[in-house]
Structure 1
């Protein structure tokens, strides 16, 4: 959305230096990545966190490691900090969003990892990633477990959460003070798989599930209203993508067809119109909102998660023309579990794919759109700027110092993204009205927190040639001020949807009888039955007697159609209802496990047991910090354990949750005390240190070896600079005496940090 003031200032701006851009853009060389990037998010610190597999192989799990990458490192293989997940939570296929109040990334739900493998059902955990320290920690959990859940940041800074397997019944809202709270709205009729959610300018949430059912949630979070279904041609589905390219305007594409739809959610009823076709079908496509307002489609194939009709090209939709255009191709196909994320330099990180799938894409590449590359193949000259402040409220004016102020045609905010499974709910682009003076711009943030939802944003200046600056990250605080600022732009050109045929009448009757419940339905209604939100079975004979059914149960039948899964509620036919069956007595509390710790010659020995034999996946903690995981074994020897160390064993019992078992001493030392008493121990070795020397060639670092490690990560002023292998020195020709340095080494999951002085 471009305001009149922005257009006038753009016309008065001095023309940018003549430059011919290459519309194809360019791709950087494919490089290794520490894991398959199933999840990717840009943090408030400008780093990229990825996770989803145990390492660089096709084994799904977010229970073990995650990676933090610094885009300023210059390539996809450098700048990595791969860390241990020290929480008990498997964060695989969860929801991740940046919390605007803290700047940290908060993760909701995920899988359950038991018996050495993923269980493929939801957990109710909440995990926080500290954007500054890069550590994960557990927070109080949600009301419902959720696997493949979705969410969006609200105008007041809270996070709305909906869907996910095992979380179909109702949504929740979370904030760091009150935690997660259940909302009194029924979402059982909406499909649970990553529902598409957007905050629109009047403060409501507009959304649709992957079967195309549209709905809105009132601004006060009390009312959910359904608005019918769209896309009978099958454009929706879990392999499709959607992006809010302008306030209240959504572009939906990919999945089971090559169709495109425009959705205008600014009125009381959403308006859906047909857009242009893409070049081909793209199942498991990713959408990236670019700073020039166009939308990049990347990845996908003609057959879901198969190498049939793969699309490696960058395909871009232009809102000015309403057309798709194909550009240059990347190195590998990106299918299920792939990700694409806008970076602060306006390039796009393209990563992941696999676990499962025909490729194991523990790799990544960078796509530079045509606005970054000249026809001669070099990087285009870009506007530059600086800021005195990075914290703002809606309605504030941003003072931007820039020697290129006279050449700036637009000032835009693009929200930091968080993407997984072909959907990035936080993407939004805001045009800022601005005035220009010599060496300075004054840009104003719209006075609406439903247009500029709180959180971290990339601030881009774009010159008259369409070339964006590198962005700096600013943070916009929560506010109660909502509502549209300017009227939304008109829909781009494109064909109008043909009229929909009349809906098929779908019916399901429910009769409560002595000793159970009988369901009957017509052929159009379906054959799959869900009871109280969980799958109950498949019954092709169009009826089913449930001997365990009681008055409080509710049922839905589901039909598999060309448009996806269609749900029909089963309506009580009014027959007398059985008297309520008393609930079963609560299960007895889980038996506490036992853990005994015994000092041995060379550490501490732990022996532990779960009396119900429900778990062979143990998390060992020493002195209140995570130490290791043990699988299919009821003992562990901590060779680094000391006298006085405290231990705790954590495990899960299905239906009872996490069990925390403290380890207590058993017996005394295994080895009898020697005679005579041993001599006093030698003094402890000097701790490893790092020394800095200023030379004519630069700054020279020299450090002591960390036992068991020959690979060291060097950081300058808190940012990764290089990795040194098989050496204990490094010369930094770009360093100065004012710089601070740190050397890191990780042995057996324990990181050593050496401050250089």
Structure 2
């Protein structure tokens, strides 16, 4: 028996020597987490899977130099940057899932709190951002060599887009909805140089003092219209006619769910068999007034409530469920199984540096087809907190890739949590 266990131990050590990556995996009954890289040189504030099994990651550009250099001789100049006008470091990269390698990309405009979507041909279209870059469109077409990089179009958008939401439409276009103090939407690509934006009164009505309607939740419905949720309300929008065709009941609690309270939303899997049903799930967030209280050192508990609504019902209403724990600033990933992973975020406070407290390090699986009492199950502990500006995407092999968190102004990590 001793000889058998010795042989097993030697075999495991042999595997670890052949593949050190295995040594960085944390295995538990409820799943396995592997550290791919201790540092990639940037904070992956945004991530997007491309159709060639690569992931583009990018950070804001006005925090000074990153820890990832651009290719030799490549630098960019921004005379309006208050931190670093000449920058030879990368704020974006392309990560190859198969080889676990990455290369720097050059993005020159500030992507902080921007938004994006992928065209039918696989091109990532990334819109808006911070300060003088809020009218920019950036595109990244996937490639299988080292030839592709960001292409940027300053001044392309008709309105400033900061905290907007993008959704690809059945005709291949992208609709860009809202943004800070923007009660309208527009399309990419535009039809002409003078293509207008379209007013959406719903966005004005749902704005309050804390602007809890930023990054509205948007889902494409089976009838071709858009489900739009902002603050505590939701509508169905016929964007072709610029007409609200339906207003849904307000969510059954008064707590806002959108940024800056940063709840979560997903359109649950749709069975193509008749009759088609579409159900939207909204979870988490922070109580109304949480931002101002957190600035005073009072950190409210985040919401653990989830609400689901079948938007295809004749008389839809919100059904109530509770997550296993409260969560704000989290991410939702729809799995190939039809289940949902709820990951990242904090148990108290709200969105920003240092005012989100008590990291949630236990992801949750939600199984919509299970009976109500056992739909939520808790996964293995994740040792690295992922809070403000963290991100998560589904990979082609079914794994979840997570990154980012709290980059902090100017990458100054002295005296911060």
Give yes or no for TM over 0.5.
Answer: yes
- Contact 2:307/2:320 (CA < 8 Å) preserved in 1? yes
Equivalent position of 1:39 in the other structure:
46
Equivalent position of 2:33 in the other structure:
27
Shift of 1:270: 4.2
Q: CA–CA distance in 2 between the matches of 1:127 and 1:299?
A: 27
Q: Structure 1's 36 and 270: CA in aligned 2 closer, same or farther, altered over 3 A? A: farther
Counterparts in 2 of 1:197-596, with a 5 A limit? 197-209=218-230, 211-218=231-238, 220-224=240-244, 225-232=246-253, 234=255, 236-238=257-259, 239-247=262-270, 248-256=278-286, 257-267=303-313, 270-275=316-321, 277-303=322-348, 304=350, 306=355, 308-321=357-370, 322=372, 323-356=375-408
Counterparts in 2 of 1:27-106, with a 5 A limit? 27-29=33-35, 31-54=38-61, 55-56=66-67, 65-74=91-100, 79-86=101-108, 89-100=109-120, 102-106=121-125
- Contact 2:340/2:367 (CA < 8 Å) preserved in 1? yes
Q: Structure 1's 91 and 268: CA in aligned 2 closer, same or farther, altered over 3 A? A: farther
Higher helix residue share: 2
Across the two proteins, how many residue pairs are aligned to each other?
320
Tell me, yes or no, if structure 1 residue 110 matches structure 2 residue 117. Answer: no
Q: CA–CA distance in 2 between the matches of 1:188 and 1:235?
A: 15
- Return the match for 2:172 from 157, 160, 164: 157
Give 5+ residue unaligned stretches, structure 2: 1-26, 69-81, 208-212, 271-277, 287-302
- Contact 2:113/2:129 (CA < 8 Å) preserved in 1? yes
- Contact 1:60/1:355 (CA < 8 Å) preserved in 2? no
Shift of 1:190: 3.4
- 1:345 counterpart SS class: coil
Shift of 1:31: 2.2
Shift of 1:112: 2.1
* TM-score (structure 2 length as normaliser): 0.70
Equivalent position of 2:217 in the other structure:
196
Q: CA–CA distance in 2 between the matches of 1:99 and 1:112?
A: 26
Higher strand residue share: 1
Higher CA-based Rg: 1
Q: CA–CA distance in 1 between the matches of 2:220 and 2:159?
A: 23
- 2:204 counterpart SS class: coil
Shift of 1:60: 11
Counterparts in 2 of 1:623-702, with a 5 A limit? none
Shift of 1:244: 0.8
- 1:280 counterpart SS class: coil
- 1:188 counterpart SS class: helix
Q: CA–CA distance in 1 between the matches of 2:124 and 2:325?
A: 35
- 1:107 counterpart SS class: strand
Shift of 1:220: 2.1
Q: CA–CA distance in 2 between the matches of 1:91 and 1:81?
A: 19
- 1:124 counterpart SS class: coil
Q: CA–CA distance in 2 between the matches of 1:220 and 1:38?
A: 32
- Contact 2:226/2:239 (CA < 8 Å) preserved in 1? yes
Shift of 1:135: 1.5
Shift of 1:185: 3.9
Q: CA–CA distance in 1 between the matches of 2:93 and 2:138?
A: 15
Shift of 1:329: 1.0
- 2:98 counterpart SS class: helix
What do the CA deviations read for 1:141-196 (whole angstroms, capped 9, x no partner)?
A: 11111101002111111111111114x23211223665764225433223441000
- Contact 2:283/2:306 (CA < 8 Å) preserved in 1? yes
Shift of 1:52: 1.6
Q: Structure 1's 269 and 138: CA in aligned 2 closer, same or farther, altered over 3 A? A: farther
- Return the match for 1:138 from 116, 129, 152: 152
Q: CA–CA distance in 1 between the matches of 2:196 and 2:157?
A: 7
Q: CA RMSD in A?
A: 2.9
Q: Structure 1's 33 and 40: CA in aligned 2 closer, same or farther, altered over 3 A? A: same
Q: CA–CA distance in 1 between the matches of 2:170 and 2:282?
A: 23
- Return the match for 2:135 from 96, 121, 124: 124
What do the CA deviations read for 1:2-22 (whole angstroms, capped 9, x no partner)?
A: xxxxxxxxxxxxxxxxxxx97
Give 5+ residue unaligned stretches, structure 1: 1-20, 114-121, 362-757
Q: Structure 1's 56 and 24: CA in aligned 2 closer, same or farther, altered over 3 A? A: farther
